[in-house]
Amino acid sequence: MPATKKRSLEEKEGETGSQITDIIFDLKTTGLNVCDEITEIAACTVDGKNTFIAHQPELITHLPETLRKFVDFLVLHAKGGKVNLVGRMKLHFPFLYRLIRDLDCFARFEEVIHSVDTIKVAIRVSYIQPSENSDIVALAELFKKSERSPYLYSTAKTKFLQSEAAEICASSLWVLEREKILNEGAIKKIARAGLGLTQLREEYLKGGYRALSGLLSDENKENIKPTTDKKKDKKKDKRTGKGAAKNLMKYFEKEINRN
């Protein structure tokens, strides 16, 4: 099968109305959670000739200034157009967004970013992190071999904000797993629907079991399983929100009786 030529976003300038430049970026962090600490941020143009690198301890000591310089780097090499920001991992974009959104350079960041992309996993696995600036340049070389799959910045931002909101909701719901009211999967699905413990409690106080059941059985939450205890999971309720609603009703009733 003949190889297809990978078109750069610069070649699509006429289609988009403005020049779009690929910028490769990479982060090193202390973990895989968006709240973990960044230990290095690097970026370069696809040809590897222009690089930006910041390490600890300077990165942490002067983080706001480092991020401003990073945005300056993006704006400079966008050359009046916009940037397709290419990362090694999808998770790196939320890390970056979380750090920049509270700074005075955030408006410039949003203005210059057109889309985000990730180096294809099959190509990425061959990547061995060297040292210093050859690290990010090696990623740029891999990107040249990788299939392109960019998606608009606005889409990436929406997905991250939804994920962040779900994490906040889930943090209020984990008590229900400890009490064996809901299992982990149910909690994650409810959280992704934007519901936390407070909203569930208010719904129950407002309309009882029927209100809870309706809230948990709509099309976005139809596959919620009720508990971690299989003996308590009736077959007819197992794939709906009804079993979850019954267990939540009992939980809230106990809360009311305790108070």
Ordered by start, the domain boundaries in the chain are: 9-149, 161-258
Q: Could you confirm whether domain 9-149 is CATH 3.30.420?
A: yes
pLDDT recorded at residue 17: 56
pLDDT recorded at residue 34: 58
- Evaluate if pTM is beyond 0.75: no
The tokens describing 253, both together, are 């009733």
Q: Give first-to-last CA distance, the chain, whole Å.
A: 70
pLDDT recorded at residue 241: 61
What b/e string do you get for 232-241 counting C-beta neighbours within 10 Å, with b at 16 or more? ebeeebeebb
**73: amino acid identity, one letter:** F
pLDDT recorded at residue 192: 81
pLDDT recorded at residue 6: 44
The DSSP 8-state label assigned to residue 241 in this structure reads S
Angle between helix 92-100 and 153-178 (nearest 10): 100
pLDDT recorded at residue 13: 43
pLDDT recorded at residue 98: 83
The tokens describing 53, both together, are 């690198």
pLDDT recorded at residue 44: 92
Per-residue pLDDT of the chain (259 residues; tens, 9 = 90+): 344 444 444 434 434 457 889 999 988 877 766 566 778 888 999 888 888 988 877 776 788 899 999 999 999 999 899 999 988 877 788 888 888 988 999 999 999 999 888 776 444 444 444 444 457 888 888 888 776 667 687 777 777 777 778 888 888 999 998 888 888 888 888 888 888 899 899 888 998 888 888 888 753 444 454 444 444 444 433 334 677 888 898 899 888 888 6
Q: What are the start-end ranges of the E strands in 31-168?
A: 38-45, 51-55, 82-87, 113-118, 151-152
What's the maximum distance between 2 C-alpha atoms anywhere in the chain?
71
> Distance (Å, rounded) from C-alpha 202 to C-alpha 156?
32
> Distance (Å, rounded) from C-alpha 240 to C-alpha 216?
8
